[in-house]
Amino acid sequence: MGSPLIAISAARQTVDTAFGPMPSTVQNVAYANGVLAAGGRPAILPSTADIPEDLLEGFDGLLLTGGGDIDPRLYGEDPIETVYDVCEIRDDFEIELYNQALLRGMPILATCRGMQLINVIRGGNLIQEVSPNRGHWQDGPSHEPWHSVQLEPGSELARIANQASIPVNSYHHQGLGRIGKGLRVVGREGDVVEAIEADDANLIGVQWHPEHMFEIHAAQKALFVDLVEKANAHAQSQQPRQEQFL
């Protein structure tokens, strides 16, 4: 049996090509590198308008990534002027990714936008603009920590990080508001929600970007290692049992 296959979501952007402007799949390779470093096989999935029913067939884990903002209409609000890069096709595609992963019992790691999307799917909402003076958009290199997140004692995330707080980078202008059904807050910076887990899913959601920090910070790499290990266990659980004959 090979190493587990991890589905990685991606942005959909119009890119200038030899054929003119074309809808394209765009994703930072750092996510794939994080999965590779943890022993998994990464596969970046394009956000398509037509969504296959067997979207995650053959996959063992899901990584929901960062990017532009989620359409506020999904949580019953009109967008304010700072909302940017909304893509309804990506929203719809990643909602289906999440739902199929949940049905299959697959492990999910969700970063930044990915964590926010899960909160919205579960009936929560977002703060459309975290006050700029809160300092949640750093001006230093992305591999360097910007602030620390206090982790909930006894949480899965605290176990993974093996520490009570974790230094993180910070690139978000939105945040979680009302918490969605079945979700638990397991990490905060002040009153800003920085990490969640679920009562009914194999899920870790973080507001920061571990893909830019895993090469230097062991606790960030541990997030990818945990995803791959859980994906491997999930893959093994799906293997048909072979009867043994004497």
Does 87 qualify as catalytic in the annotation?
Answer: no
Residue 127 is predicted with a pLDDT of: 96
pTM: 0.93
Q: pLDDT digit string (tens) for 28-87? A: 999 999 999 999 999 999 999 999 999 999 999 999 999 999 999 999 999 999 999 999
Active-site choice (112, 172, 194, 234): 112
Residue 137 is predicted with a pLDDT of 77
Do 241 and 10 meet the contact criterion of CB atoms below 8 Å apart? no
What pLDDT was estimated at residue 244?
42
Q: What is the pLDDT of residue 65?
A: 98
Please list, in sequence order, all residues whose beta carbon lies within 8 angstroms of the beta carbon of residue 237, skipping any fewer than 6 positions away. none
Q: What is the pLDDT of residue 145?
A: 81
Which residue among the candidates 209, 212, 217, 234 is catalytic per the annotation? 209
Rounded Cα gap, residues 57 and 60, in angstroms: 9
Domains of the chain: 5-238 (3.40.50.880)
Catalytic residue among 136, 211, 212, 229: 211
Q: Is 112 annotated in the active site?
A: yes
Instruction: Check residue 142 and give its pLDDT.
Output: 82
User: Residues of the chain whose pLDDT is less than 50?
Assistant: 242-246
Residue 242's pLDDT is 44
CB 171 within 8 A of CB 140: no
